[in-house]
Amino acid sequence: MTTAVHRPATLEDVARVAGVSRSTASRVIAGTGFASPAAREQVTAAVDQLGYVPNPAARALVRGGGVRLVVAVLGTSAAVLDDPYVHQVVGSAARVCTPAGVGVALHWLPFGDPRGLDQLDGDRSVCGVILVNTTEELLAAVPLSLRGRVVSIGVGSATVPSFDVDNAGGAEAVLRHLYASGRRRIAMVTGPRWLPCAQRPVRTYRHLMSLAGLPERVLPGDFTAARGRVAAGEALRRWPDLDAIYAISDDTALGVIAGLRDAGARVPGMSRWPASTTSRLPG
């Protein structure tokens, strides 16, 4: 029955209501240190009577921990931050961090400018960093004081642990599928040249094509739909007999599909259709 303006409860309030000191309240709430069953009882009662929620900011301040996990994405422009893949990383991170009172931030690391990371390690509110689109150069630019708080998706190093999805396996599955459905003239739109972990699917592609005695047709991409669209046109021009395009990243694949439609090709199938049949939105 709070009558006044509902000011969020503080530890002080809890302690007062529970009839104990702040220290005791803190101990039972943080679950650290000793407390008599009686005190414990009082405090927990007070907590949910007041709807008390510890303030992560204050907690982080005194503990020296941070309140933000940074997803740092290397790219040639800030547009990388709009990539669905990045969004998925951020979303998953947010979900995991929320119960711990940790928020997620999104940083663009300009390609070729290692100072971005220096800024992060001067920030006491950062408790961890996830590197996306990691290169060897980026790994080398990780400040010492950030070690132990950084992980990488893709390539890692002795001081930066890494994890990744099975790029090669995925590529193999897709290509075997295309082969099984009869495709024999398969082009590939790659990821950026400078990204190490994007080379794995390319190697797999080259390997499988050579195994099957099929021609290698590689077009450089950059994970964007725009590039996929253009690449599709190039592919059709260079290799008119194409019967499949393997594009890395969902965005690129959608761009490729758009590009194929632009050119009047049918997807799936890649056989041309009469231009007049091409659907278009009403003006």
Partner DNA sequence: CTGTTAGCGCCTTCAC
Partner DNA sequence: GTGAAGGCGCTAACAG
Q: Which residues bind DNA (CB under 7 A)?
A: 10-12, 20-24, 26-27, 29-30, 32-36, 38-39, 52, 54-55, 58-59, 61-64, 124
Residue entry with tokens 């931050």: 81
Distance CA 133, CA 75 (A): 7
| Residue 82 per-residue DSSP state | G
Q: How far is the CB of 56 from DNA (least distance, A)?
A: 8
Distance CA 60, CA 145 (A): 18
Q: CB-wise, 105 or 263, nearer to DNA?
A: 105
The answer to whether residue 113 forms part of the interface with a second copy (CB under 8 A) is no
Distance CA 235, CA 238 (A): 5
- Sort 188 into a burial class: Cβ within 10 Å, 0-12 / 13-18 / 19+: buried
Contacts of a second copy in 6-45 (CB under 8 A)? 6, 8-9
Q: Which SS3 state, helix, strand or coil, does residue 167 take?
A: helix
Q: Which SS3 state, helix, strand or coil, does residue 172 take?
A: helix
Distance CA 45, CA 281 (A): 62
Q: Which SS3 state, helix, strand or coil, does residue 141 take?
A: coil
Contacts of a second copy in 158-177 (CB under 8 A)? 173, 176-177
CB atoms within 10 A of CB 81: 16
CA angle 116, 119, 124 (to 5 degrees): 140
The answer to whether residue 217 forms part of the interface with a second copy (CB under 8 A) is no
The answer to whether residue 181 forms part of the interface with a second copy (CB under 8 A) is yes
Q: CB-wise, 69 or 74, nearer to a second copy?
A: 69
Kindly report the backbone phi and psi dihedral angles of residue 143, in degrees, each rounded to the nearest multiple of 5, phi listed first. Answer: -60, 150
The answer to whether residue 147 forms part of the interface with a second copy (CB under 8 A) is no
The answer to whether residue 71 forms part of the interface with a second copy (CB under 8 A) is yes
The item of DNA, a second copy, none sharing an interface with residue 69, based on CB under 5 to 8 Å by kind, is a second copy
Q: How far is the CB of 147 from DNA (least distance, A)?
A: 19
Q: How far is the CB of 148 from a second copy (least distance, A)?
A: 13
The answer to whether residue 275 forms part of the interface with a second copy (CB under 8 A) is no
Q: Which amino acid is at 90?
A: V
Member of 16, 101, 168, 270 binding a second copy (CB under 8 A)? 101
The answer to whether residue 123 forms part of the interface with a second copy (CB under 8 A) is yes
Q: Which SS3 state, helix, strand or coil, does residue 4 take?
A: coil
- Sort 227 into a burial class: Cβ within 10 Å, 0-12 / 13-18 / 19+: buried
The item of a second copy, DNA, none sharing an interface with residue 145, based on CB under 5 to 8 Å by kind, is a second copy
Q: How far is the CB of 37 from a second copy (least distance, A)?
A: 25
Q: CB-wise, 82 or 137, nearer to a second copy?
A: 82
Q: By the criterion CB under 8 A, which residues form the site for a second copy?
A: 5-6, 8-9, 50-53, 55-58, 60-61, 66-71, 81-82, 84, 86-88, 90-92, 94-95, 97-98, 101-107, 118-119, 121-125, 143-145, 173, 176-177, 180-181, 267-268, 279-282
